Amino acid sequence: MGLAVRRKNRKIGVNSAYLNIPRPIEAGDESTIAANRLILADPRGEISEHDLLEFMENCLDPAFWRWREARKKGLKHERR
């Protein structure tokens, strides 16, 4: 089962911020991250950044936005 949390982003210097990885998630020495509007991360660093980015751009990102639009339309119909 997954984990869903909301965390405050912390500033580091002028141009960076960090996001804490919740304790129940196993983290390695490095993490691999692919990001745009969404962030996909492998906290153990076992998946290459190229593979994560390709998966995010081709599978996850398009599917998420289609799902979100359908959900928004469904909520509009329920309010009528």
3-class secondary-structure state, position 55: helix
Find, among 20, 63, 14, 16, the residue nearest to 38 by Cα: 63
Q: Please give the pLDDT value at position 16.
A: 92
Q: Please give the pLDDT value at position 56.
A: 96
Domain layout of the chain by residue ranges = 10-79
Q: E strands, 1-80, where?
A: 10-12, 16-18, 32-35, 39-42
Question: Residue 79: pLDDT band by 50, 70, 90 thresholds?
Answer: low
pLDDT tens readout for residues 11-64 = 999 999 888 888 888 999 999 999 998 999 999 999 999 999 999 999 999 999
- Give, for 8, the enclosing helix (H) or strand (E): none
Q: pTM, whole model, 2 decimals?
A: 0.76
Backbone angles phi, psi at 33, to 5 degrees: -135, 140
Q: CA 19, 24, 25: angle at the middle one, nearest 5?
A: 60
Q: Please give the pLDDT value at position 19.
A: 84
